[in-house]
Structure 1
């Protein structure tokens, strides 16, 4: 009689065969699922990637347009500021010219001559300011800082102090 618990050579081979086939089927199924998953992921990320690139391009275009508009506005404001500064210098020069006779009478002709000289210098400075472009003024400022860094720092500190005093909130 054959023991049902004892493995037979034929039963072991048969079990190994079934096990091998089951493993091969499981591997094939896993590979098929992995392939489908990869395909879905590639399609999804490809869609996302394309959309992200599109949105990125749109944002970059908007930023470039905004930067170009800002540059145009800044140039307009700078030119307007340059014109107003020139006009203010000319106005101050005219005010000095109008009061030169009073200076001559009250303080003396020597000081009147100083006032005339200062007025003439201011008119010349205003004319030079009108003639130069913003780029030329920027280069002049850079050259001034290179030649006299200490004076440039001192002027910046003084200007900062004055602006601070002008805009200081009263308590």
Structure 2
């Protein structure tokens, strides 16, 4: 007859071995599954990174195009503004010149000559504005501000006040 203690020990050992193998197989299966998902995640990350780079490049190109268009339009508006400013100065010069004889009659020839001198100076200024490029005008303005900062601030305040009054009324 077979000893029951030997048989029970062998059965327990056998069960432990089967359980240990099952646990090892489960661990190996879990590791394989984790590795598979890691690979898929890395692949997805690569695709997302490439997509992000493509979209970033497209956005950058659009921004550069927009900036170039804005620079072009700003240049066109500046040239237009320069021409209108020159025309306005010529208009004021003509207005003063047209009224110089009236000033002669009402106030005196001396003041009429001042008006004609101012008119001539305004005409010359308008001609210089027409002749110079925007870059040259910008350089002249920077030099003026460096040489006369107080006058420049005063002019800026005066222009600001006039503009505020104009737009406040609207």
TM-score scaled by structure 2?
A: 0.87
* Gaps in structure 2 of 5+ consecutive residues: none
Give how far 1:13 is off. Answer: 4.5
Structure 1 pair 99–32 and aligned structure 2 pair: CA distance change class (3 A): same
Alpha-carbon displacement from aligned partner over 1:38-83 (angstroms, at most 9, x marks no partner)? 1211222222222222122112111111111111111001100000
Could you tell me which residue of structure 1 aligns to residue 105 of structure 2?
Answer: 105
CA distance in 2, matches of 1:36, 1:164: 69
CA distance in 1, matches of 2:169, 2:94: 33
Superposed CA RMSD in Å reads: 2.2
Structure 1 pair 29–131 and aligned structure 2 pair: CA distance change class (3 A): same
CA distance in 2, matches of 1:43, 1:133: 57
Could you tell me which residue of structure 2 aligns to residue 76 of structure 1?
Answer: 76
Could you tell me which residue of structure 1 aligns to residue 63 of structure 2?
Answer: 63
CA distance in 1, matches of 2:140, 2:20: 87
Where do 1:86-165 residues align within 5 Å?
A: 86-165=86-165
Give how far 1:149 is off. Answer: 2.2
CA distance in 2, matches of 1:71, 1:132: 20
Alpha-carbon displacement from aligned partner over 1:128-150 (angstroms, at most 9, x marks no partner)? 11111111111222222222222
Give how far 1:110 is off. Answer: 0.8
Alpha-carbon displacement from aligned partner over 1:107-139 (angstroms, at most 9, x marks no partner)? 111101111111111011111111111111112
Q: How many correspondences in the alignment? A: 168
Which consecutive aligned stretches of 4+ in structure 1 deviate over 4 angstroms post-superposition?
10-13
* Gaps in structure 1 of 5+ consecutive residues: none
